[in-house]
Homo-oligomer: A and B are copies of this chain.
Amino acid sequence: MIRTNQELLDYVKKNLNSDPQTYLPHQTLIGQGKRVNTVYIIKSGIAKCFLTNENGNDFVEEFFGEGEIVGEIEIINNHVSVCGVSAVTELSVYKISEENFKHFLDKDKIFNHLILKALSAKIHYKALRHAHNQSNDVEMNLLRIQKEFPGIFETIPKLDIANYLGITLRSLNRTLSELRMRNLIR
């Protein structure tokens, strides 16, 4: 539910002596459709990666926590950002410029392998999550993400959760109140 990458965070902390930068909730790190020239690695806090469609509806791809990296896809494949990325809670991030990122990727074998692993992990958890999302009903999906991150309803706004599950706020509320009635939640 909240993705993390401790191995990458440790490596970045040790080998990148740059100061982290802070973002407040709702602040934007990367704008959808914008050119990306910085890689961000989350030191603490939660960010969301989301896609806004023609009707103004959001779909949340992932919630990113400690050690997760954003911006690398766009730089590697040299295209504008598919998703927007913004802070959900207060956020502390390490920034790496495009030049430095490409340089490390080329010259630092350990970093190169950490990125290969980070990308593979993203594909892996994306595959699992979307399979679950599509083959189970709202109730099961809610129970699953609540199990993965018990503090979810105190940390992440309901609308973001609904957009993560690909349902409306109404459906989320309906299912939540059913689960509450059956004492399966809260």
Contact = CB atoms under 8 A, between A and B. Distances in A.
A134 B77 CA distance: 25
A169 to B, nearest CB: 14
> Binding site of A, secondary structure by majority: helix, strand, loop or mixed?
helix
Interface size class of A (residues with CB under 8 A): 35 or more
A41 interface: no
Contacts of A106: 109
Contacts of A134: 59, 133, 166
25 contacts: A51-B127, A51-B128, A51-B131, A53-B131, A53-B136, A59-B130, A61-B130, A61-B131, A73-B120, A73-B123, A73-B124, A76-B116, A76-B120, A77-B120, A77-B121, A79-B124, A82-B124, A82-B128, A116-B116, A119-B120, A119-B123, A122-B123, A123-B126, A126-B126, A126-B130
Contacts of A122: 123
Number of identical monomers bound together in the oligomeric complex:
2
A112 interface: yes
A7 B106 CA distance: 20
B117 A59 contact: no
Contacts of A130: 59, 61, 126, 130, 133
